[in-house]
Amino acid sequence: DWEKMIRQLFFVFLFIHSTLAKKEPAVKATDKKWLTLNGGSPAVIARGGFSGLFPESSQYAYESASSTGLPGVVMFCDLQFTSDQLAVCQSDIRLDSSTLIADVFPKGQKTYNVNGQDVKGWFAMDRTIDELKMNVTLKQNILSRPSVFDGIFGMFTPDDIVLPKKEGDPKPNVSLWVNVEYDMFYNQHKMSAANYIETSAGWWVPNYISSPEIGFLKAMGSRKNKSIKLIFRFLSKDAVEPTTKEKYGAILGKLSTVKSFASGILVPKEYIWPVNKDLYLEPATTLVADAHKAGLEVYASGFANDATMAYNYSYDPVAEYLKFIDNGQFSVDGLLTDFPPTASEAVACLAQNQNATKVMKSLIISHNGASGDYPGSTDLAYQKAIDDGADIIDCSVQLSKDGVAFCLETADLTGKTTAVTTLIDRASTVPEIQPNSGIFSFDLTWSEIQTLKPQLVSPFSNSSLLRNPANKNKGKFVTLSEFLELAKTKATTGVLINIDNAPYLASKKGFDIIKIVRDALTNATFEKQSTQKVLIQSEDSSVLSAFKDVPTYQRVLKIENLISDAPKKVAADVKKYADAIHVRRGSVVSESAGFFATGFTKVTQEMHAANISVYVSTLANEFVSLLFDYFSDPYSELATLAAQNVDGVITDHPASANAYMRSPCSNPDAKLPFSISPVAPGALLGLVDPEAMPPALPPSPVLEEADLVDPPLPATANISSSNAPSNSTPSPATAPSPKSSSSVNNVASACLSILAAMLLGLLYN
């Protein structure tokens, strides 16, 4: 039956991840010195198990936390008590928020006064443990996480976490943390958390007990096993502690008193690194240093890869963890997280690694510079890409009406500049470039373009994830010659020059963009040197053929459409035009309609067999861009592409790619106790009931020879001397130019309309 099959598949999932993530070290890993209270590495504490993927406190959540996290990951269980004095693990006292109890007991809703507040919902204390375990299933209560596992898993207890599944099995080696959030409330209803924990000691003893109630911790201090750590949990600073009636913010100034009944504190992460109303970090508090001075361990809570985080982190969850454990001033003693694999890689792979040299040979290629942090193709975006470790910086060459070559992702200025706010009357439709209207660079003089501001816009318009608003209009546009000079001055590994719309520019605007680019490269002395790489990229094979006579240039064919295969003969045809291909991520890792990985294509292997390099785009840190298999973790995607031996990644966030490639965990041959695992496509999807999935996507097409061959470039028309660039050679007008083999699929511009662009302009100005 389905339940039996899914259980078998889950064991396969666990085996894959435990095998990939954890290895027996051949040699002892280098000891790290930590600024924790005891000098040991920070603990990784899994809130409800791997609750970022599976429903919180479910069997699969706890078991996958163990298989994907560091050895010794701590399982966190929030105790909610039943009418027969037993307990289940759930963080919310209202079970209807994370279970389907309302469907099972539709008349079970009640209202109780919980610490002075009336709370309406379904409560564990109104049911026996058997009623809950036998009838109630769990659901995911965070909308950004997969809902396909709802209704599959029953409720879990501490016994289920730490005891053998059947008689005769060995006892799991599990560290357990139990949290008692509402002891006073349960005592009012004649239920005792202290008695429950004490009577359970014959079967299991927790490593940690936490509570936001001082009275409970003092009671436990008089009766607990001395090996158990008691942790005082701080709620929001304005919340009132039930025993003393003091606000938690006031108690924060009495750490020596806290030490009298607890060995540590658990605090929201904002207690340590405050975040202002605009979502930017403020200076760190002295809490960790003060607590350590008082002899208290400090555990930080609230970590999740898909939660709101300060813009300072550029949506990189590892960067956030490192701020708490590797800042040179202090380290917390543990991290309470919904995503234990990411916290584990921060501790084991990325911490104390800032000065390491790059391990991998794959190239880090910027996408319009560091366009995740600054408006793309600006001086600031390029400078940050270089500072963040990009090997190759990129320039998509556009032309102004008076022939100035400059860098911008598309010829249509409506998306990445403020053009719609001042130049809407200059909009036109150019079907040879895109089906919708736009304001095009070749219709404006360079002076007019310089009156505009660049604009930082998120590519994920359907989400609420803005990119760094403080930088939304910062930076200035860069000419091609300025771009090349920057690359030379900063001694980057190389440059990527992208050329689009060459037939249209030649036949309709009188611009020979090939000559303009070649002259710029020659003037910057790139043509006669081999120290810095020059990558010439285009979707048009005729453009690439125009550079065939410069053997030091690497020609890159951009394949905009997703492909599933590249037969040997077609790969050989690609080699006629290009030394490398640029493909989208889905052409390497195929995906389902439900945002799960389904398999690896053979594109990389087939291209490598033809001696063709493979570059993959476009990587971004925002979790909405990542398949569920990647655990909302950009490092997991990087590890997966690395395992497929891609030759370079094209990314909005070079800093994250650089951090991964400098990590010892990016070396597949390193003998480490933990590693960042590539995904196993299909392993997670195999756990999903097919009926819970949307209709399957059609397979991506196979790359064909017809996709490669473009018509010869037309001669450059003699439009007018005022429009032509100074170094262009007028020639007779030609017939309308044919479209590039893939220009019709220019997704970046085809999905924009002038109306949408105007709305974006209003939003960002």
What was the pLDDT predicted at 328? Answer: 96
| Average pLDDT estimate for 318-323 | 98
The tokens for 60 are: 């699969």
Residue pair 216/179 in contact by the 8 Å Cβ criterion: no
The tokens for 15 are: 């085996």
The tokens for 40 are: 């040991």
Q: Which residues contact 702 (CB under 8 A, 6 or more apart)?
A: 563, 564, 565, 566, 567, 570
Number of CB atoms found within 10 A of residue 112's CB = 18
H-run or E-run covering 599? strand 597-600
| Average pLDDT estimate for 450-471 | 94
| Average pLDDT estimate for 291-299 | 99
What was the pLDDT predicted at 219? Answer: 94
Q: Of the ranges 405-409, 568-572, 697-701, which one carries the lowest mean pLDDT score?
A: 697-701
What was the pLDDT predicted at 224? Answer: 65
**What is the distance between the alpha carbons of residues 655 and 434, in angstroms, rounded to a whole number?**
33
What was the pLDDT predicted at 355? Answer: 83
Q: Is the pLDDT of residue 759 over 50?
A: no
The three-class DSSP label of residue 298 is: strand
What was the pLDDT predicted at 490? Answer: 97
Q: Is the pLDDT of residue 599 over 50?
A: yes
Phi, psi dihedral angles at 616 (to 5 degrees) = -120, 135
pLDDT band at 165 (very low <50, low <70, confident <90, very high): confident
| Average pLDDT estimate for 19-39 | 66
What was the pLDDT predicted at 23? Answer: 46
The three-class DSSP label of residue 709 is: coil
pLDDT band at 369 (very low <50, low <70, confident <90, very high): very high
What was the pLDDT predicted at 359? Answer: 87
What was the pLDDT predicted at 719? Answer: 82
| Average pLDDT estimate for 275-288 | 98
| Percent share of the chain, pLDDT over 90 | 82
Number of CB atoms found within 10 A of residue 391's CB = 23
As a whole number of Å, the CA-based R_g of the chain is 29
Q: Which residues contact 638 (CB under 8 A, 6 or more apart)?
A: 619, 649, 656, 657, 660, 661, 666, 676
Where are the extended beta strands (E) located within 181-296? 208-211, 229-233, 264-268
pLDDT band at 27 (very low <50, low <70, confident <90, very high): very low
The tokens for 38 are: 């005891």
Please, what are the domains in the chain? 33-350 (3.20.20.190), 363-759 (3.20.20.190)
pLDDT band at 691 (very low <50, low <70, confident <90, very high): confident
The tokens for 519 are: 């002259």
Buried b vs exposed e over 221-238: b needs ≥16 C-beta within 10 Å? beebeeebbbbbbbbeee
Q: Which residues contact 397 (CB under 8 A, 6 or more apart)?
A: 405, 406, 407, 480, 497, 498, 499, 513, 516, 517
Q: Of the ranges 451-455, 525-529, 745-749, which one carries the lowest mean pLDDT score?
A: 745-749
Cis peptide before 308 (omega within 30 of 0): no
Residue pair 671/27 in contact by the 8 Å Cβ criterion: yes
Q: Using CA of residue 10, residue 13, residue 15, residue 18, what is the dihedral sign?
A: negative
pLDDT digits (tens, 9 = 90+) for 504-548: 999 999 999 999 999 999 999 998 888 999 999 999 999 999 999
pLDDT band at 758 (very low <50, low <70, confident <90, very high): very low
Closest CA to 337 of 288, 268, 280: 268
What was the pLDDT predicted at 529? Answer: 83
H-run or E-run covering 428? strand 428-429
**What is the distance between the alpha carbons of residues 725 and 402, in angstroms, rounded to a whole number?**
6
121: left (phi over 0), alpha (psi -120 to 50) or beta: left
How many Å from the N-terminal Cα to the C-terminal Cα in the chain? 57
pLDDT digits (tens, 9 = 90+) for 93-145: 999 999 999 999 999 999 999 999 999 999 999 999 999 999 999 999 999 99
Secondary structure of 45-105 as H, E, C letters: EEECCCCCCCCCCCHHHHHHHHHHCCCCCEEEEEEEECCCCCEEECCCCEHHHCECHHHHC
**What is the distance between the alpha carbons of residues 178 and 175, in angstroms, rounded to a whole number?**
10
Phi, psi dihedral angles at 504 (to 5 degrees) = -65, -45
pLDDT digits (tens, 9 = 90+) for 412-444: 999 999 999 999 999 999 999 999 999 999 999
What was the pLDDT predicted at 270? Answer: 98
The three-class DSSP label of residue 294 is: coil
What was the pLDDT predicted at 671? Answer: 83
Phi, psi dihedral angles at 287 (to 5 degrees) = -55, -50
**What is the distance between the alpha carbons of residues 372 and 380, in angstroms, rounded to a whole number?**
11
pLDDT band at 256 (very low <50, low <70, confident <90, very high): very high
Angle at 604 between CA 599 and CA 610, to 5 degrees: 145
**What is the distance between the alpha carbons of residues 450 and 475, in angstroms, rounded to a whole number?**
11
Q: Is the pLDDT of residue 722 over 80?
A: no
The tokens for 503 are: 């037939």
Q: Which residues contact 425 (CB under 8 A, 6 or more apart)?
A: none
Number of CB atoms found within 10 A of residue 450's CB = 14
| Average pLDDT estimate for 339-359 | 94
Residue pair 8/15 in contact by the 8 Å Cβ criterion: no
Q: Is the pLDDT of residue 309 over 70?
A: yes
The tokens for 423 are: 């130049």
The three-class DSSP label of residue 492 is: coil
Q: Is the pLDDT of residue 56 over 80?
A: yes
H-run or E-run covering 533? strand 533-538
**Residue at token pair 């000691």:** 201
What was the pLDDT predicted at 696? Answer: 85
Number of CB atoms found within 10 A of residue 735's CB = 7
**What is the distance between the alpha carbons of residues 442 and 603, in angstroms, rounded to a whole number?**
36
Q: Is the pLDDT of residue 748 over 50?
A: no
Q: Of the ranges 232-246, 318-332, 459-473, which one carries the lowest mean pLDDT score?
A: 459-473
What was the pLDDT predicted at 21? Answer: 52
Q: Is the pLDDT of residue 726 over 80?
A: no
What was the pLDDT predicted at 17? Answer: 57
Residue pair 555/612 in contact by the 8 Å Cβ criterion: no
What was the pLDDT predicted at 617? Answer: 97
Where are the extended beta strands (E) located within 161-211? 175-179, 208-211
Q: Of the ranges 17-26, 309-318, 507-516, which one carries the lowest mean pLDDT score?
A: 17-26
pLDDT band at 739 (very low <50, low <70, confident <90, very high): very low
| Average pLDDT estimate for 151-174 | 89
**What is the distance between the alpha carbons of residues 96 and 111, in angstroms, rounded to a whole number?**
13
**Dihedral Cα 395, 396, 401, 404, nearest 10 deg:** 20
Q: Using CA of residue 327, residue 332, residue 335, residue 336, what is the dihedral sign?
A: negative
Buried b vs exposed e over 326-360: b needs ≥16 C-beta within 10 Å? beeebbbbbbbbbbbbbbbbbbbbbbeeeeeeebb
> Which amino acid is located at 368 in the chain?
N
pLDDT band at 720 (very low <50, low <70, confident <90, very high): low
What was the pLDDT predicted at 166? Answer: 79
What was the pLDDT predicted at 760? Answer: 37
What was the pLDDT predicted at 164? Answer: 84
**What is the distance between the alpha carbons of residues 625 and 459, in angstroms, rounded to a whole number?**
9
Q: Is the pLDDT of residue 28 over 80?
A: no
Number of CB atoms found within 10 A of residue 680's CB = 21
Question: Could you write out the DSSP letters of every residue in 506-569?
Answer: HHHH---HHHHHHHHHHHTT-TT--SSEEEEEES-HHHHHTTTT-TTEEEEEEE-S--SB--HH
Q: Of the ranges 148-157, 378-387, 748-757, which one carries the lowest mean pLDDT score?
A: 748-757
pTM given for the model: 0.91
Q: Give the pairing type, strands 297-303 and 87-89.
A: unpaired
Most confident option among 25-29, 637-641, 723-727: 637-641
- Average pLDDT of every residue of the chain: 91
Phi, psi dihedral angles at 419 (to 5 degrees) = -55, -35
**Residue at token pair 């009406």:** 401
What was the pLDDT predicted at 167? Answer: 78
Q: For residue 504, give Cα distances in angstroms to 16, 517, 536.
A: 51, 16, 19
Q: Is the pLDDT of residue 555 over 90?
A: yes
> Which amino acid is located at 705 in the chain?
E
Q: Is the pLDDT of residue 447 over 90?
A: yes
What was the pLDDT predicted at 3? Answer: 54
pLDDT band at 676 (very low <50, low <70, confident <90, very high): very high
